[in-house]
Structure 1
Amino acid sequence: MDGSIESRVSHQVDDWLTWLPRWRPGTHRGRTRLCRTCFGSPVIAAAGLTTDVPHAVQHALAMRLKHLIDAEVDEFTETHLPLLSREIQLNEERKAASAYHPAEGLDPAYTGLDLDPPAAPDAPYLFTFAELARPEASVAAPLAPAPLTDAEKAAIRAEVARADAHAALVGGRVCAELVRHRERMRTAVAEFVEPWVLALLADLDTALDSPLWPRSI
């Protein structure tokens, strides 16, 4: 596959379109907070999926493209930002000391979501994935590096600014390319997602009852 941003975006959209027919509505439980990846996302806006699209469908696309942008920024950081790259490597080594990483290796449709669903009131308590991923559940971490000097801190802040600027540049190119795929994504949503949503609404309509509605005798 061509390594350009445009070809990578096209590949991710193709992957999402392949996944979309397998999507099924989840449970009716409400979210406890807004998804920071999807809410107000320029990626979702560029794809034309901001309204009348279930969050799970949005999230599956947003995370695929987030991984694309992150990989591009990681490559730029490793090549051009040595101090920031070193700090990231040290942080990865500290994370590697953890005994368990429940959020790693997930399909893009589930990456970034809450590790644990809300517990039922009468359910027995065993453990949560979030607890297993805490640092206190880890094996001995590597020794902390020497503190950074003021000059090193300033240099790293400058490199972080360059990394952020590059991420914004890549994100802009990704959004511009997504616009070209908007029509086929909306067509796929209409074909594979909207029938499920309409079926859910129909089931909800038949399940609801009101004392004010006339009853058949």
Structure 2
Amino acid sequence: MERSLETRVTQAVDAWLAWLPRWQPATHRGRRSPCRRCFGSPLLAAVGIGDTAPHGVQHGLSVRLTTVIDQRVARYTADNLPLLQAELDQQAARNRTRSYRPSEGLDPEFDGLPLDPDPDPGAPFLFTIAGLAEEATEAAPPPPPLTEAEKNALRREIALADDYANEVGQEICMLLLSHRLRVQAAVRTFVDPQIDQMLQELSRSLDDPFV
């Protein structure tokens, strides 16, 4: 029997809470562009960490929750949207032919993040992980072309899948309201002290302008 959406959301939050004590502030360079999974996420806003917690903390939770949505949409697509499912099956078959798939099998905390850091100005990389992955993708055989009627039908099914994803996302936002207190308490316990310590170390390292 398929687990209820409420159960899946609770399990996702529980898994994130179990991981959170291991979180540490990142020491690498920051991102130059906002994370599309986390920036403005209604899921993060529903638990009250959409504009307060560091991105690494947000990302670990948002990926776990969006995975719940993705799995629900995948089930809906398989049951109701045959054209879209056929396209997804073809894409999956192409992916299996690629010899290099660095973005697959990542832990939720790293899923969807850039594969390479931003290059330093004037010092480009000799090669990048993303570039190698793109070369493997280009080497895979292209899918067969669609007729105009098939394209229109596929667009309609994609719109239906998007609508369903929005419905599931809205329901998850409502379910997350019951987890706000424990999520925010965990951030105060495991994250805020580390941020405060970083700020204290930074203040000690700066010269006092009034001396």
Shared fold (TM-score greater than 0.5)? Answer: yes
Q: Secondary structure at the match of 2:141?
A: coil
Please name the residue that 1:213 is paired with.
Answer: 210
CA contact (8 A) 2:100 2:132 kept: yes
Larger C-alpha radius of gyration, 1 or 2?
1
Identity %: 49
Matches within 5 A, 1:42-61: 42-61=42-61
- Mind listing any 5+ residue stretches in structure 1 that lack a counterpart? none
Matches within 5 A, 1:44-193: 44-119=44-119, 125-134=125-134, 136-137=135-136, 140-142=139-141, 144-145=143-144, 147-193=145-191
CA distance in 1, matches of 2:205, 2:45: 34
Asked if the contact 1:99/1:139 (under 8 Å) is kept, the reply is: no
Structure 1 residue 201 and structure 2 residue 199: aligned? Answer: yes
Contact 1:6-1:177 within 8 A present in 2 as well: yes
- CA 1:143/1:36 → structure 2, altered by over 3 Å: closer, same or farther? closer
Distance 1:154 1:144 in 2: 17
- Scaled by the length of structure 2, the TM-score of the pair is 0.92
CA separation of 1:158 and 1:115: change in aligned 2, threshold 3 A: same
**CA positional deviation for 1:123:** 7.6
RMSD: 2.1
For 1:144 and 1:170, the matched residues in 2 are separated by: 30
Partners in 1 of 2:65 and 2:124 — Cα distance?
38
In 2, Cα distance between equivalents of 1:193 and 1:117: 24
Give the aligned length.
211
Residue 95 of structure 2 contacts residue 137 of structure 2 at CA under 8 Å; is this kept in 1? no
- Matches of 1:68 and 1:33 in 2, distance apart? 25
Deviations 1:143-198 (A, max 9, x none): 632x3222222221111111111101110111111111000000000001000000
Are the aligned partners of 1:38 and 1:58 in contact in 2 as well (CA < 8 Å)?
Answer: yes
Which range moves more in the overlay, 94-103 or 83-92? 94-103
Determine if the alignment matches structure 1 residue 4 to structure 2 residue 4.
Answer: yes
Displacement of 1:52: 2.4
Structure 1 residues 192-211: Cα deviation after superposition (integer angstroms, max 9, x where no partner): 1000000000001001115x
Name the CA distance, whole Å, in 2 between partners of 1:59 and 1:28.
16
DSSP 3-state at the match of 1:101:
coil
For 2:26, the aligned partner's letter is G
Partner AA of 2:83 in structure 1: L
The answer to whether the 8 Å contact 1:20/1:192 transfers is: yes
Q: Which moved more, 1:109-118 or 1:88-97?
A: 88-97
| Gapped regions of structure 2 (runs ≥ 5) | none
Q: What is the letter of the counterpart of residue 162 of structure 1?
A: L
Deviation at residue 139 of structure 1 after TM alignment: 8.1
Deviation of 1:2 after TM superposition, in Å, equals: 6.2
Q: Is the 8 A contact 1:93 1:142 kept in 2?
A: no
